[in-house]
Amino acid sequence: MVPATQNSLEGSRYRRPWYTANRVLDKDKFWVNVVLPAGITDQEIAEKTQAFLKCPA
């Protein structure tokens, strides 16, 4: 669970300005292209994200 303060900051500080700068309106469809940093391996990605991919028991 994300604390309310962090969630609010993420939306106001990062997401809203991005939507505005890219003219994304409600219900607009858009692509997100994820680019990995140079030199990182699939194994490193798996190790770094493993904790985020587990569902709580």
Judge contact between 24 and 30, C-beta under 8 A. yes
Would you place residue 46 in the very low, low, confident or very high pLDDT band (cuts 50, 70, 90)? confident
User: In Å, how far are 26, 29, 35, 39, 52 from 7, measured between CA atoms?
Assistant: 19, 22, 24, 31, 17
Domain range holding 28? 4-53
Our count of domains for the chain comes to 1
Please list, in sequence order, all residues whose beta carbon lies within 8 angstroms of the beta carbon of residue 22, skipping any fewer than 6 positions away: 30
The answer, yes or no, to whether residue 32 has pLDDT greater than 60, is yes
H/E segment holding residue 44: helix 42-53
> Mean pLDDT across the chain, nearest whole number?
83
The pLDDT assigned to 43 comes to: 87
Would you place residue 48 in the very low, low, confident or very high pLDDT band (cuts 50, 70, 90)? confident
